[in-house]
Structure 1
Amino acid sequence: MPLKNLQCFLMLLLSASSFSQNSFHKISAYVGIMHPIVTINKDETTLNFRDYYAVGVPVGVNLWKNEKIGFSFEVVPNIKDDQGSSKVTNLLFHPGILATLGKGYTFAGRAAFESSGRYGFTPVLSKIVLKGPNCSYFLALPLPVRFGNGHPASFTAGFQVGISF
């Protein structure tokens, strides 16, 4: 390995080491269950539990820069049961920025990229409702807004419950 390449490699290792030591205050993971309640677009309003049953299973990792701000990476497989036939309908890639609001509340501003071809954003307000020594239980209100793939723009209100550790 030429000396210049070795120097670059060592610089990369040193910067990665200092990045991991100084940049993130905390790393946490979570899993939850998300129920869309109502979806509205210009053509129709659909209700989960009445017209069909849909559920998402968000799994994510939060990288906290400090106690106030962080980055979150979330993946959500969505399952839909319609007239007795169930299947995975979509996989959502959901990166975002986290901001603590105090008193156990956190705001997540997420970009949304769905395998169905839809895209958009999702503001999420969450609240820790029970904090234990090894995990915390939370409730969240996700409000997805979606565009694209030949469908009208839509707005959904959902309810999420989860555990973080």
Structure 2
Amino acid sequence: MKQNYIIEMKPILLFVLLYISTAAFAQETYPRITGYFGIYHPIVTISSEQTNLNFRDYYAVGFPTGINIWKSSKIGFSFEIVPNIRIQGSSDKVTNTVFHPGVLVALGKGYTFAGRLAFESAGRYGFTPVLNKTFIKNKNSSYFLAVPLPVRFGNDHPATFTAGVQFGIAF
């Protein structure tokens, strides 16, 4: 009778040991590096001189590409490069490239705050707070929606504030 009990317990014991070993190796290790690519649409840009709406007189789009280095599950560093294209009438060109280093703070429930400095090849500088929400997370990638709010100064232009939307994939 005692032998039958041990034989019946073997599959359960095997399952428990397998689960424990899998859980131990499934933990995320830090630092952790992720990359991402997105498409950014500025919606409105406001300055003391004027208000510009994208999609009305022109179309502007950016392609943020970056690397995130997570020090822990709560804090990380990010470096992003954003080439921007502007299409107006029959003319289209790369207007500038933004170099965007920053700090990442995980807020929980898929939300992340990115506080970025901004250095534009067009001669402007500033900062960009970004609120990011991961809405689909797979084993090897995740999809996110972000709201960047760039503030820019310099190059003999008035200060500007822009509100935009960004969609992307992280891997």
Q: Assess same fold via TM > 0.5.
A: yes
CA distance in 2, matches of 1:54, 1:41: 17
Q: Which amino acid aligns with 1:75?
A: I
Mark the runs of 5 or more structure 2 residues left unpaired by the alignment.
Answer: 1-28
Q: Check conservation: 1:25, 1:67, Cα contact below 8 A.
A: no
**Which of these residues, 130, 134, 141, is aligned with residue 140 of structure 2?**
134
**Which of these residues, 144, 147, 154, is aligned with residue 148 of structure 1?**
154
Is residue 50 of structure 1 aligned with residue 53 of structure 2? Answer: no
> What is the CA deviation profile of residues 46-103 of structure 1, one whole-angstrom value per residue up to 9, with x for unaligned ones?
0000021000000000000000000000000000001121000001000000000000
Shift of 1:25: 2.6
Determine the structure 2 residue equivalent to 1:115: 121
Q: Check conservation: 1:33, 1:55, Cα contact below 8 A.
A: yes
Determine the structure 1 residue equivalent to 2:37: 31
TM-score by length of 1: 0.85
Determine the structure 2 residue equivalent to 1:18: none
CA distance in 2, matches of 1:101, 1:156: 23
* Count of matched residue pairs: 143
Q: Mapping of 1:1-165 within 5 angstroms? A: 24-165=30-171
CA distance in 1, matches of 2:32, 2:99: 22
CA distance in 2, matches of 1:126, 1:51: 28
**SS of the residue 1:50 aligns to:** coil
CA distance in 2, matches of 1:95, 1:70: 11
Mark the runs of 5 or more structure 1 residues left unpaired by the alignment.
Answer: 1-22
Following TM superposition, where does structure 1 have runs of at least 4 consecutive aligned residues deviating by more than 4 angstroms?
A: none
**SS of the residue 1:94 aligns to:** strand
Larger Rg: 2
> What is the CA deviation profile of residues 93-144 of structure 1, one whole-angstrom value per residue up to 9, with x for unaligned ones?
0000000000000000000000000000000000001011110000000000
